[in-house]
Structure 1
Amino acid sequence: MSVRRAYRSAIVTAVVGLVAPWAALSTQPAIGTPATADALEQAGIRRGICIVLGLPDGTGPAWLVDLAKTSELTFYFQSPSPSQVASVREAATAAGLLGSRLFADCGEFGKLHLADNTAGAVLVAAPAERQTSEAELLRVLHPEGTAFVGGRRIVKPFPKGIDPWSHVYHSPDNNPLSRDQLARAPYLTQFLADPKFCPMPEVSVAAGGRVFRAFGHIAHKANQNAMLNTLLAVNGYNGEILWRRPLHEGFMIHRNTMIATPDVLYIADDESCKLLDARTGDLQGEIVVPADVSDGPVWKWMALDGGVLYALVGREEVRPQTQSSEVAGLGHWPWGMWQGHEYKDPKTNFGFGRTFLAIDPSSRKVLWSHREEEFVDARAVAMKSGRIYFYSPQKHLACLDLASRKVAWRNASQDLLEAIGRDGPAQHWITGYATATFLKCTDRYLFFAGPQRDRMVVASTEDGRLVWQKEPGNLQLVLRDDSIYGAGPQGTVGYKLAYDTGETLATLPGRRACTRATGTVDSVFFRASGGTVRIDVADDTAKHIALMRPPCQDGVIISDGFLYWGPWMCGCQLSLYGHICLGPAGDFNFRHEPAESRLTRAAEDPAAVKPFEVRGGDWTTYLGDNARTATSHVAP
């Protein structure tokens, strides 16, 4: 079975009552359509794409226009009747909805003119019921989408083998490697959507068919201002913005304080951890750090595992000011030691804290806490298999065992601390951001590497002892089962390394600038000079996705069978702009041979076709006229 067909393999059908609300519409005129609107609302379909197949008996196009006016959905109408399509277009034009909220197309009911996994709902009128199939409805529906057919609701389930990008670096171990079994090369474009541009920093998570992106406080161009301090929830199948919320100003978001689940988005700042309804953005509750367990209310790091929310919390930090821009257009911007990025005081540094908490997210109560004497750097906190590994700069590397709630070991050996070294300044277009995480882990090893590191350092999870070290340290790591992939700095090379020894197994292309690397079951991604590099791990060859470049802080994220490139924050012009999604092509035929069956003729005798009327000012040929002047006297 192909990965595309995996989305179509299961059908969940529920009979609702004796007659569904939509079925009722096919037998009675529905002016105002309360039954249809109610059915969509009950199915949780508020924003997104709704397909309408034909007009119900006894209704006209005004019914569909009224439905569009009373909802936030985008409607796609399809019918084999040219006159019916024309009437819908005329009514939508008169209402100012055509081409924005309502689209109409001519086509048979048996073959819908939308891509796979696009629609959240399909309304099938009685005349169309016998001419379409459940398989075709399931093809266009995305998971959790609902088709209303006669007296039934057909709900598309999630396919097996998908993996969420629940934490900022995929999971609490900070290893940006997706285990998604469907997101495999080759790819097809799923959507290109707004917003096109965003400020920095940006952090993203995804789960349940939704992508959540938090945009920070620095705009280098005017086209980024609209998204300053903004949280977006986006439909992961069609790019529709589901909801947005303002973020608390003065909090550096580039850290591990956002977690996605299918039902709840956890997002924390210097006041509390907010629990947001993933579908609506409504605030379900807040978790506030108790004053008696911590020296401050600020959330530095957090992870969700086994139904328990773990957090590092602590003192107030540097509060960076929002920086808007009046600089128009595109192009580069100046790097610098922006406010708070110098990490000069552990008492006020971004992400430095001393108290670990274990919290029950259901009751929002603290289960237990652990206090450290030294400040812990949240950029160097990773969690796996019931252990939290943490680093206090130039003091020690330690392990907190979650079962015993005690420190399992603490390593302050001189060889380890000298190997890790002091933080480099970063904040350069080749090295990257000072705020980036630089500790990752597996069950056996801890890995220090990133923009601030002079060398890559590997320590044992057993006791923190130094295992090996290697220059350079500015590697963007993806920890695969068989080996370590490291995207090297611009002008150098990357590496495929052996876990136990650090031996170079293969050299890889160097990355372009600062963007982080991420991976899937068959690929590793990072930024190329133009576009995206995809390392095919089957043979370690480099492929080129030319049209878009991964955004700076996120790279390519992978969730629910799809790959996502975020809005553009960089100044480089060599990219498509916007929120871009690719999906698995599976058995798609990229090279269709010409076939007579695909040719549509307007008339058997082409000479009998009336020519188009040509009027003065028409652009009838290449560059406007036979002299190729590329000019027009027609005023826009």
Structure 2
Amino acid sequence: MKNLTICLMVLFTWTHCAKANISELVQRSGIQGGLIVHVGCDEGEQTATLRVNDRFLVLGLDTDHSQINQARKYIQSLGLYGPVAVDAFDGKHLPLIDNTVNLLVMTDLGDVPMAEVLRVLTPEGIAMIGNQKHVKNRPSAIDEWTHYLHDADNNAVANDTVVGPPRALQWQAEPKWPRHHDKMSSLSALVSTGGRIFYIMDEGSTASIFMPSHWALIARDAFNGKLLWKKPIDTWYTRYKGLKDGPADAPRRLVASGDRVYATLNLDGVLSSVDTITGETVLDYPGTEGTEEILVSDGVVFVLMGPGSLGDGGRKLRPVEKRTIKALDATSGNTLWEHTDVVAALTMAVNKKLLCYFNFESKQVVCLDRRTGQRLWASDDLPSPSKQLSFFASKLVLHDDVVLFASGEYSGMTKSGGGETRSDTLSALNAATGKTLWSDKHPPSGYSSPENLFVIDNTVWCDSSSNGKLDGTVIGYDLYTGEVKHQFPEDQSNYWFHHRCYPGRATQNYLLTSRTGIEFIDLKKEQWDINHWVRGACLYGIMPCNGLVYAPPAPCA
């Protein structure tokens, strides 16, 4: 993160900050996990007490080397050294990178500038300095990423102007490598809210894919990577699922919103809500067995439930069969309404008024009233793939009063061979009536994965990145008329390997494509910043939010 405007709020003062009660500062601060830094650790007794549970790491800092040695011996005698550690500093500069400390405890500033304190604090991090509590505000320039495609409207664009081309490593966590290149991706889903990230991952042995899977829902601090909790998942997709077979809708089984994580903790099980801080299950939603996709919007959970398990490793086709959309009160779990239809994977999208999806049987976009489930309209027939292959899904984005549908009639049938080179069809519909506003070509941008479709400032952005033989042309259509407002090819000659088998993402400033690594395409300058050295996980990809880019481990060269 860089170029952040730092805001500081002094909330209240303590009547005292006695050393004997220093561990109470953790509870009083409200910090629930992460990295604590204690400046002036003395002989380590107070520093050790700051680690009140396993959700914390503690670093003590001091300028006195003799006290540091004593502190290390004391902490080692408790068997705590590692999770609690001490180190030297020069009394002025805190030896930490930007935005990593959740709680900083100091008797007084001494020679440390307040700007230095703010530099190391995470957004919403807290500094307890003497008798005052200082809170670093979360910048408005960074965003969360609560759903697979950013939000319930399927527009995978972060409202984040801090995210930029990668120039430094913020943190890294195990495993460095997923389990296998030719089988099921080790990471199924990743989302972020409240300064934390949550993901579903197979932590089974990388020595052999024949070793058992260990799937879990995992929470970490978003800014320093501290492990906060893990929640085992009993059964999940088979690890033997074939190369590039998806399933494309697996990342839709996880949503984070407010203080809750919504997930299926069993492949065929019910939807559960989990406390973001503790990992404890808050509610199992009755009647949601077979949940395959989850969206959350304004206190309502929308689930798409299938008729049976999709866990068969040999299953490469999604049957054309009816599924049920159910709207649930997020707090009580009460069913508000339900609707059954042949809903295509990944096409369910919600805004404040509507819920739309693509009916794969009738080849129509269908729109419902999100409050009642009443059917409002169905579009004219639209192009689509002839089959629903497991690795692919058409892209439907609901943006204000327009519904966009990228059919993928060619890309959805092309699994390998270097990637599709033919353009598919992009259709724009009036969200009030379902009437077609315009249609045009949608350049191929997926490779054994869904394609790219982004709306930024009323411009619809697409890119041709599925095949290294393509020129990488980026097209920007006017949202309402379809007029081509922008069109430019890549501006660099480079070696292209092959597309990384996951859909791209975007921010307000960049398209983040997956042609070989992570390509940052500056939409204002029409320039490419190429980063072949880093890429996301097969199936899921990357997550741009919190001013950072999260890149899960990838098995590809």
Specify the TM-score bucket, using the shorter chain as the normaliser.
Answer: 0.7 to 0.9
**Mapping of 1:578-589 within 5 angstroms?**
none
Q: Could you tell me how far apart the structure 2 residues matched to 1:319 and 1:490 are?
A: 30
1:113 and 1:401, CA in 2 relative to 1: closer, same or farther beyond 3 A? same
2:461 paired residue number? 484
CA contact (8 A) 2:91 2:111 kept: yes
CA contact (8 A) 1:217 1:229 kept: yes
- Secondary structure, counterpart of 1:380 in structure 2: coil
**Mapping of 1:453-492 within 5 angstroms?**
455-461=424-430, 462-463=433-434, 465=436, 467-470=438-441, 473=444, 475=446, 476-479=451-454, 480-481=456-457, 482-492=459-469
Task: Give the drift of 1:190.
Answer: 1.6
Give yes or no for the alignment of 1:566 onto 2:537.
Answer: no
1:491 and 1:67, CA in 2 relative to 1: closer, same or farther beyond 3 A? closer
1:330 paired residue number? none
Give yes or no for the alignment of 1:197 onto 2:177.
Answer: yes
2:196 is aligned with what amino acid? R
Task: Give the drift of 1:51.
Answer: 0.8
1:420 paired residue number? 384
2:127 is aligned with what amino acid? A
2:137 to 135, 148, 157: 157
Give yes or no for the alignment of 1:378 onto 2:345.
Answer: yes
1:110 paired residue number? 92
When Rg is computed on C-alpha atoms for both structures, the one with the higher figure is 1
2:468 is aligned with what amino acid? G
Task: Give the drift of 1:555.
Answer: 2.3
1:51 to 31, 37, 42: 37
**Mapping of 1:479-628 within 5 angstroms?**
479=454, 480-481=456-457, 482-493=459-470, 494-497=472-475, 498-499=477-478, 500-501=481-482, 505-508=487-490, 512-529=499-516, 531-568=517-554, 570=555, 572-573=556-557
Q: Could you tell me how far apart the structure 1 residues matched to 2:3 and 2:210 are?
A: 35
- Secondary structure, counterpart of 1:11 in structure 2: strand
**Mapping of 1:11-30 within 5 angstroms?**
11-16=9-14, 18-19=15-16, 23-25=17-19, 30=20
1:94 and 1:548, CA in 2 relative to 1: closer, same or farther beyond 3 A? farther
Q: Deviations 1:26-68 (Å, cap 9, x if unpaired)?
A: xxxx4xxxx3333313434454211111135xxx334534655
1:440 is aligned with what amino acid? V
Q: TM-score when scaled to structure 1?
A: 0.72
1:363 paired residue number? 332
Give structure 1 regions of 4+ aligned residues with deviation exceeding 6 angstroms.
217-220, 223-227
2:419 paired residue number? none
- Secondary structure, counterpart of 2:61 in structure 1: strand
Q: Deviations 1:259-303 (Å, cap 9, x if unpaired)?
A: 1123111113533221111111111112122xxxxxx73223232
1:309 and 1:10, CA in 2 relative to 1: closer, same or farther beyond 3 A? same
CA contact (8 A) 2:536 2:553 kept: no
Task: Give the drift of 1:194.
Answer: 2.3
Task: Give the drift of 1:210.
Answer: 0.7
| CA-based RMSD | 3.2
**Mapping of 1:164-313 within 5 angstroms?**
164-185=144-165, 187-198=167-178, 199-215=185-201, 222=208, 228-250=214-236, 254-268=250-264, 270-289=268-287, 297-313=289-305
1:346 paired residue number? 320
- Secondary structure, counterpart of 2:346 in structure 1: helix
Range that drifts further, 235-244 or 156-165: 156-165
CA contact (8 A) 1:533 1:544 kept: yes
- Secondary structure, counterpart of 1:245 in structure 2: strand
1:87 is aligned with what amino acid? Q
2:361 paired residue number? 394
Task: Give the drift of 1:248.
Answer: 3.8
Q: Deviations 1:597-631 (Å, cap 9, x if unpaired)?
A: xxxxxxxxxxxxxxxxxxxxxxxxxxxxxxxxxxx
CA contact (8 A) 1:201 1:217 kept: no
Task: Give the drift of 1:209.
Answer: 0.8
Q: Could you tell me how far apart the structure 1 residues matched to 2:50 and 2:371 are?
A: 55
Q: Could you tell me how far apart the structure 1 residues matched to 2:435 and 2:204 are?
A: 37
1:164 is aligned with what amino acid? E
Q: TM-score when scaled to structure 2?
A: 0.81
1:165 and 1:297, CA in 2 relative to 1: closer, same or farther beyond 3 A? same
Range that drifts further, 139-148 or 159-168: 139-148
Q: Deviations 1:90-119 (Å, cap 9, x if unpaired)?
A: 444565655x32333322333211112111
Give yes or no for the alignment of 1:438 onto 2:402.
Answer: no
- Secondary structure, counterpart of 1:309 in structure 2: strand
Task: Give the drift of 1:535.
Answer: 1.0
Q: Could you tell me how far apart the structure 1 residues matched to 2:166 and 2:215 are?
A: 35
- Secondary structure, counterpart of 2:117 in structure 1: helix
2:310 is aligned with what amino acid? V
Task: Give the drift of 1:218.
Answer: 9.4
1:5 and 1:163, CA in 2 relative to 1: closer, same or farther beyond 3 A? closer
Q: Could you tell me how far apart the structure 1 residues matched to 2:210 and 2:540 are?
A: 17
CA contact (8 A) 2:395 2:407 kept: yes
CA contact (8 A) 2:444 2:463 kept: no
1:439 is aligned with what amino acid? L
2:263 is aligned with what amino acid? I
- Secondary structure, counterpart of 1:549 in structure 2: coil
Q: Deviations 1:164-213 (Å, cap 9, x if unpaired)?
A: 11111101222211111332457433212223234435211111111111
Unpaired runs of at least 5, structure 2: 179-184, 238-246, 415-423
Unpaired runs of at least 5, structure 1: 290-295, 321-337, 427-432, 574-636
